[in-house]
């Protein structure tokens, strides 16, 4: 009886929050699903029922397929670089040397910057007329003329990836650094005595402790990178020639620029479904990690 009373009290305490969540999340989601099944525009309150036509047309469109490829490339390149740089930074900051505490604090700064501020900063660095990157490369003799890094299809995506990696690799680094604190020093000492080299010590003595946290960081960053919008919008707005247009940019353009609310809603649900799958993977990894612990 006391257990039932405790459960009822817990539900009563959570009821206001549940009502707010249902109101904030459920109604917009229901409205989005309704819009996705119509041909409604931004200027009309409702449209004609078209069923799954919006989903079918968008999934088969070249714009969607191109945006999906761009999003996948951005996600793969960004996360790969962030994992490598994050682990290397963590290994460095895990060593004993003077100024280590200051460097740990400095590493947080890029991650603490708002994404829009970070995008504006890198857009200024890449500026074709007075950007710091052009100036530095010209003085070093790497290039012989200023280049429009964000205006060339071959370099725009890579330029955005660099900006995203600079901001987010500290997150992976901090997670990896926390995991490194749990590596027993006796294990490393024993591996050194046995004649294991640096790579062997990392692979067999350190990596097992890093694997779980790195998987969590991987899934978290995959979710964020797959639905990226702000850094792309500020730096290139999806250009040049749509070579950096991601799925989130396509959703915005379809709904607001082209005034096709129904089609934009269907694209938003497709992106939501993809992100939900990534989130489900995150939950599975969390549960598996908890079971191991």
pLDDT digits (tens, 9 = 90+) for 129-161: 888 999 899 988 888 888 899 999 889 999 999
Taken in order 87, 92, 96, 97, the sign of the CA dihedral is: negative
Residue 78 exposure: Cα atoms within 13 Å on the Cβ side: 31
30 falls within a domain: no
2 falls within a domain: no
H helices, E strands: number in the chain = 14, 0
User: In percent, how much of the chain has pLDDT > 70?
Assistant: 95
Residue 155's domain comprises 54-292
pTM listed for this prediction: 0.85
Whether residue 163 has pLDDT greater than 60 = yes
Q: pLDDT-derived band of residue 289, with 50, 70 and 90 as boundaries?
A: low
CA–CA distances in Å: residue 132 to residues 26, 121, 124, 253, 266 = 47, 11, 8, 31, 41
Res 45: pLDDT: 59
Q: At 234, which CATH number?
A: 1.10.3720.10
Taken in order 233, 237, 242, 248, the sign of the CA dihedral is: positive
85 falls within a domain: yes
200 falls within a domain: yes
Q: pLDDT-derived band of residue 9, with 50, 70 and 90 as boundaries?
A: confident
Q: pLDDT-derived band of residue 64, with 50, 70 and 90 as boundaries?
A: very high
Please tell me the distance from the alpha carbon of residue 235 to that of residue 157, in angstroms, as a whole number: 10
Whether residue 293 has pLDDT greater than 60 = no
* Domains: count for the chain: 1
34 falls within a domain: no
Please tell me the distance from the alpha carbon of residue 50 to that of residue 57, in angstroms, as a whole number: 11
- What mean pLDDT value characterizes the chain? 85
Please tell me the distance from the alpha carbon of residue 115 to that of residue 86, in angstroms, as a whole number: 18
21 falls within a domain: no
Q: pLDDT-derived band of residue 173, with 50, 70 and 90 as boundaries?
A: very high
44 falls within a domain: no
């Amino acid at each position: 009886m006391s257990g039932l009373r405790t459960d009822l009290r817990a539900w009563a305490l959570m009821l206001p929050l549940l009502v707010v969540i249902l109101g904030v999340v459920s109604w917009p989601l229901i409205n989005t699903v309704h819009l996705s099944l119509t041909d409604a525009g931004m200027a009309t309150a409702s449209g004609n029922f078209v069923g799954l036509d919006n989903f079918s047309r968008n999934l088969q469109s070249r714009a969607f397929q191109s945006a999906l490829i761009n999003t996948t490339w951005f996600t793969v390149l960004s996360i790969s670089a962030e994992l490598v740089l994050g682990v290397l930074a963590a290994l460095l900051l895990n060593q004993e040397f003077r100024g280590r505490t200051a460097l740990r604090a400095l590493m947080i700064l890029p991650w603490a910057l708002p994404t829009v501020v970070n995008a504006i900063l890198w857009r200024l660095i890449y500026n074709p007329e007075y950007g710091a990157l052009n100036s530095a490369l010209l003085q070093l003799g790497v290039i012989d003329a200023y280049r429009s890094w964000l205006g060339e299809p071959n370099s725009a995506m890579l330029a955005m990836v660099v900006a995203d990696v600079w901001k987010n690799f500290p997150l992976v680094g901090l997670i990896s650094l926390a995991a490194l604190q749990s590596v027993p020093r006796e294990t490393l000492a024993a591996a050194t005595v046995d004649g294991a080299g640096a790579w062997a010590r990392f692979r067999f003595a350190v990596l097992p402790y890093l694997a779980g946290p790195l998987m969590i960081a991987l899934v978290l960053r995959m979710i964020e990178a797959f639905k990226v919008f702000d850094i792309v919008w500020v730096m290139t707005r999806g250009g040049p020639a749509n070579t950096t247009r991601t799925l989130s940019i396509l959703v915005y353009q379809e709904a607001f620029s082209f005034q096709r609310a129904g089609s934009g809603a269907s694209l938003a649900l497709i992106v939501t479904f993809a992100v939900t799958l990534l989130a489900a993977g995150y939950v599975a990894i969390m549960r598996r990690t908890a079971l191991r612990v």
